[in-house]
Structure 1
Amino acid sequence: MKLDVRHGVHPQDFKCYDTDRLRRDFLITDLFVPGEISMVYSHVDRIITGGVCPKKPLKLECGKELGVGYFLERRELGIINVGGTGSVTVDGQTFDLKPLDGLYLGMGQKDVTFSSDDPTNPAHMYFSSAPAHTNYPNCYIDIEKAKKVKMGEPEKANVRTINQYIHPEVCTTCQLMMGLTQLESGNVWNTMPCHTHDRRMEVYFYFDLPEDGLAMHLFGEPSETRHIMVRNEEAVINPSWSIHSAAGTSNYSFIWSMVGENQEFTDMDHIPMEELR
């Protein structure tokens, strides 16, 4: 198991970063290394972003960085499978996850193990974890159970469906929210017009991009935006003061994970287009 620790940043410092520094501090790559669990711990609201590609069963463990006896002793966890069919076994209970199935695990689950049904077509279990203060029930969420919100206009190339998996109207959590947005064919923009929400940070994980495709992820303060080129199955950490938007070379999908002060999905500070720089 690999855990990479990233520190937060002040917006005044952020605007001085070059491309290499932006990629080193905010881009998350190599999430699905065969036979491994890869994780990035961000000091921005202490979110952990991870990926599991099990060839054989892999147990979720913790190190000194968490200072606890087991990973979910003081945390909750959300999982969405973007690979082959697999399963997650939690304290003896097994949840089968087909492609795009999701799972919420509450605080206090001691033994979490990831498996693939077929090692030649392994599961790609993407997960997010946030600090938690109490236990809520585990919840299996397939894409049909997720709350669906249609947004966008063809003229603006941003027609998309937001699938809200870990959301107050679907399952109860301490602070973690998580969902999957799918852009329709011919549409390339997500979250534009853009917004911030200083009450919550957010991680975007991009997938369904072709091998030669990319998404130009926009972040930073509205008056000091920066961009970073993101390939398939890569993620970007977005501080709470930052916008988070992207345009792709084709349509794509992305998973968003939020933690912070509230769980009001519509609590957004919208940015007028004329204010973007």
Structure 2
Amino acid sequence: MENRYASAPEHVATMQTAELRKRFLVEDLFLDGEMKFVYSHYDRIIMAGAVPTEAALRMPTPEALHTDHFFDNREAGIINIGADATVSVDGTEYTLPRKGLLYIGRGAKDVTFEAPGRFYLYSAPAHTAYPTTLVGPEDGNVLELGAKETSNERTLRQLLFNGDVKSCQVMMGVTTLSPGSMWNTMPAHTHDRRMESYLYFDVEDDARVVHLMGEPSETRHLIVGNEQGVISPSWSIHSGVGTKAYSFIWAMAGENQAFTDMDAAPVTDMR
């Protein structure tokens, strides 16, 4: 499991490109036949990718967690960015469609993934147990946002969101930009009560996303490719513009689950 320590805003302001990418960009999360974990000290979240091949892939427990099972003290949301595939949790099979979500609560013991899925997992510490729940891509709260005139026409699916599916901390969803739209989350914002991670996918081979981060008065950027993730501190903006339309998974954990608890960062004030 890769370890990523937290950085203060004044430190990030001094970073050059290579260090920014090393600390905040997750480039190789999806490896054939493996499950890779990245542990962030921002709210102690874990980002992971699982890519089963011929045989089912059993979820391991990273030694650094010092627990018998991954979910002994944690919960997670899992979103499939591949073809429809099966996830088994303690002997119960769930068919997870593309862009659907499976929530796994604290206390699960045995989790396996089957091809042809490509699974993104986002986990945070949990203080109580909620039931494992499957959410289809159209079953959550679906919002149509933005406009063609501002190049941010998009569909936002709140799949794990303070509603019918209970969780301790984790909130997750998928946003898909319409053809011809490129901006996400602009005007930008911060929310100092929780951190957020992005996982960009459906980014074409010859395209990239310019992800904006940093304090609103001291912005920085990362150039992001397909199936790459970004760790966003609570004090940082998190916005991006692509050279073509794309999708991304947003996931949050921290002090609260109030989706609209944001501190606005007007574009006219950003630097």
Q: Does 1:175 align with 2:176?
A: no
Cα pair 2:198 2:229 within 8 Å, conserved:
yes
Which residue in the other structure is 2:106 paired with? 107
Q: Please give the TM-score of this superposition, normalised by the length of structure 2.
A: 0.98
- Partner residue, 2:80: 81
Aligned-residue offset at 1:64: 2.7
Contact 1:100-1:142 within 8 A present in 2 as well = yes
Shift of 1:170: 3.4
Determine if contact 1:101/1:142 at 8 Å carries over to the other structure: yes
Residue 271 in 1 paired to residue 265 in 2? yes
Task: Give 2:229's aligned residue.
Answer: 235
Q: 1:198 aligns with which of 192, 205, 208?
A: 192
CA distance in 2, matches of 1:16, 1:229: 18
Q: Is the 8 A contact 1:147 1:169 kept in 2?
A: no
Cα deviation for residue 76 of structure 1 reads 0.2
Match runs of 1:1-277 below 5 Å: 3-55=1-53, 56-116=55-115, 122-277=116-271
- Tell me, in whole angstroms, the C-alpha distance in 2 between the residues paired with 1:261 and 1:93: 32
Where structure 1 has 5 or more consecutive residues not aligned to the other structure, the ranges are 117-121
TM-score (norm 1): 0.96
Q: Quick check: 1:103–1:141 contact (8 Å CA) kept in 2?
A: yes
Contact 2:84 2:96 in 1 (8 A): yes
**More displaced stretch, 190-199 vs 62-71:** 62-71
Q: Helix, strand or coil for the counterpart of 1:45? A: coil
Q: How many residues matched?
A: 270
The alpha-carbon deviation at position 85 of structure 1 amounts to 2.3
Greater CA drift, 31-40 or 234-243? 31-40
Question: What is the CA deviation profile of residues 28-77 of structure 1, one whole-angstrom value per residue up to 9, with x for unaligned ones?
Answer: 11121110001100011010001111012111121331121110000001
**SS class of match (2:234):** coil
Q: Which amino acid aligns with 1:184?
A: S
Calculate the aligned-residue CA RMSD, in Å.
0.8
Q: Deviations 1:221-259 (Å, cap 9, x if unpaired)?
A: 000000000000000000000000000001110000100
Q: How big is the shift at 1:172?
A: 0.4
Question: How much has 1:275 moved relative to structure 2?
Answer: 1.2
2: CA distance, partners of 1:228 / 1:194: 16
Take 1:101 and 1:258, find their aligned partners in 2: how far apart are those partners? 17
Maintained 8 Å contact 2:181/2:245:
yes
Provide the rounded CA distance (Å) in 2 between the counterparts of 1:220 and 1:212.
26
TM superposition outliers: structure 1 runs of 4+ over 2 Å = none
Structure 2 Cα separation of the partners of residues 63 and 184 of structure 1: 38
Q: Which amino acid aligns with 1:103?
A: L
Distance 1:63 1:51 in 2: 13
Residue in 2 that maps onto 1:119: none
- For structure 2, which runs of at least 5 residues remain unmatched after alignment? none
Give yes or no for contact 1:147–1:170 (8 Å, CA) kept in 2.
no
Letter in 2 for 1:8: A
Alpha-carbon contact 2:98-2:137 (below 8 Å) kept: no
